[in-house]
């Protein structure tokens, strides 16, 4: 192992995420023998909005940014989904993420549909004032497309509670009254929920705990590698190590990774990254590449960063017994088939990372009731939701003799199909 990328196949392939979603929908429709009318509805977004957002920059010039909002399906209730600020954002990525959010809400039995939004921009190149004007400008362009009973955005890649606060305030200004419930992921002082900042990781841990029980795996004797050491990756490492005694032996970011078979201190590694911009060169650990991390001999592998990192090129080299997808879409359909044949259990993204939207739903409930829960109540409600969803998927996997992703699709899509029939849509 070393600093240079080894002669391994590419660890990240560029594929159209929405085409993958449609492949997954087709496979699910065949499994459930869905009528053609239902299949046509579930494979296409219901509504899309593309907007131009003029922003006055600090130099006095106007710059126009492109933004999106996709509401994929609202048969179960108002749509819900994050907003991304990213320089490489595309409408197809937003469509795919909105679809996954639809399945996620259905799988967790939340009375919500799925949506996603995005703006093509590089937040690191914007001043605080420019970022605020862009955030408010985005809401000004989509405000009549969203609302507490229509579509409720949340933070996602390169957005945060402060941006959510600006967006909520702008919507409230336009509506002429406080509307805390229009946005989730807000700061605590203005309607946020305790536990939201760790919810995605905590939900993932609850799924891993249930999967370990099923596999007869003792987490205190297990090893874990995490690709992607951002907010979710760090909190997963911390919770796995601190609460469940799991030995975190490798983590990585976009510059590379580190490995120590004796284990890493998650908090110390995160502090090293904060100071140096990367986990690379952490004292007492060996530098490795992202390719090498994915194929380490560990019990649990957690891809927490990019799409399509586990693909047909490297799926045959994966050694982990369990893959817990904290990222969206990290495994391609070709890789799923290879991993299933090899007996490796993949805990699919829209099950494993559903903790974030679940606690966002809790935040909505608290906003509507103007009554806020203590942290312990939030976590216990989340644990019950995640455990129930896991066993629903496991039962479907055993019933249909399919992998956990196809099983998760079958549970989520069947609920949506049933709701469409009951509402007379088909």
Annotated catalytic sites, by residue?
A: 116
Degrees to nearest 5, angle at CA 164 with 99 and 327: 40
Contact 96, 46 (CB under 8 A): no
Between CA 65 and CA 59 the distance in angstroms is 16
Question: What six digits make up the tokens of 80?
Answer: 């819900």
Q: How far apart are alpha carbons 246 and 288 in whole angstroms?
A: 21
Alpha helices (runs of H) in 33-127, residue ranges in sequence order: 36-42, 91-107
DSSP string, 166-180: HHHHHHHHHHTS--G
- Helices 199-215 and 355-369, axial angle in degrees (round to 10): 130
* Contact indicator for 302, 225 with CB cutoff of 8 Å: yes
Rounded CA-CA distance 364/341 in Å is 41
DSSP 331: B
Residues 6 or more apart whose CB falls under 8 angstroms from that of 221 comprise: none
Distance CA 377, CA 359 (A): 11
- DSSP-assigned states of every residue in 217-232: --GGG-EEEEE--SHH
Measure the CA–CA gap between 291 and 295, rounded to whole angstroms: 7
List, in sequence order, the alpha helices (H) in 217-265.
Answer: 231-242
Residue where the block lists tokens 């402060």 = 162
- Nearest in space to 282 (alpha carbons), one of 254, 259, 305: 259
Name, in order, each residue with C-beta under 8 angstroms of 160's C-beta and a sequence gap of 6 or more.
185
User: In the chain, count of helices (H) and strands (E)?
Assistant: 14, 12
Q: Provide the pairing of β-strand 47-56 with 62-73.
A: antiparallel
Query: Which tokens in the block code for residue 341?
Result: 């044949």
């Amino acid at each position: 192992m070393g600093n240079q990328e080894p002669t391994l196949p590419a660890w990240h392939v560029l594929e159209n995420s929405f085409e993958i979603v449609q492949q997954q929908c087709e496979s699910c429709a065949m499994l459930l023998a869905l009528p053609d009318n239902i299949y046509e509805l579930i494979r296409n977004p219901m509504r899309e909005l593309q907007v131009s957002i003029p922003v006055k920059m600090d130099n006095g010039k106007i710059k126009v940014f492109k933004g999106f909002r996709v509401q994929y399906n609202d048969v179960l209730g108002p749509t819900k989904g994050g907003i991304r600020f990213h320089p490489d954002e595309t409408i197809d990525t937003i469509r795919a993420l909105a679809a996954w959010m639809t399945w996620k809400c259905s799988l967790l039995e939340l009375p919500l549909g799925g949506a996603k939004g995005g703006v093509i921009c590089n937040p690191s190149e914007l001043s605080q004032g420019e970022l605020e004007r862009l955030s408010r400008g985005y809401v000004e362009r989509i405000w009549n497309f969203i609302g507490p009973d229509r579509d409720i955005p949340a933070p996602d890649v390169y957005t945060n509670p402060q941006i959510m606060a600006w967006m909520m305030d702008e919507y409230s200004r336009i509506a002429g009254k406080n509307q805390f419930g229009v946005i989730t992921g807000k700061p605590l002082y203005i309607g946020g929920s305790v536990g939201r900042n760790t919810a995605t990781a905590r939900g993932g841990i609850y799924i891993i705990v249930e999967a370990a029980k099923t596999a007869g795996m003792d987490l205190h004797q297990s090893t874990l590698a995490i690709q992607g050491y951002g907010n979710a990756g760090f909190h997963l490492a911390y919770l796995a190590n601190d609460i469940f005694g799991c030995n975190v032996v490798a983590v990585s970011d976009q510059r590379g990774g580190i490995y120590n078979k004796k284990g890493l201190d998650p908090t110390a590694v995160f502090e090293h990254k904060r100071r140096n911009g990367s986990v690379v060169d952490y004292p007492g650990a060996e530098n490795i590449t992202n390719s090498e991390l994915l194929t380490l001999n560990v019990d649990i592998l957690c891809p927490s960063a990019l799409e399509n990192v586990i693909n047909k090129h490297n799926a045959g080299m994966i050694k982990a017994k369990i893959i817990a997808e904290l990222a969206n879409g990290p495994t391609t359909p070709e890789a799923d088939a290879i991993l299933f044949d090899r007996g490796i259990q993949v805990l699919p993204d829209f099950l494993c990372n559903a903790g974030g939207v679940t606690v966002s739903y809790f935040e909505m409930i608290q906003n509507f009731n103007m009554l806020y829960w203590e942290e312990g109540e939030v976590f216990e409600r989340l644990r019950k939701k995640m455990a129930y969803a896991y066993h629903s998927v496991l039962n479907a996997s055993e019933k249909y003799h399919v992998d956990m992703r196809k099983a998760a699709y079958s549970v989520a899509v069947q609920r949506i199909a049933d709701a469409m029939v009951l509402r007379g849509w088909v």
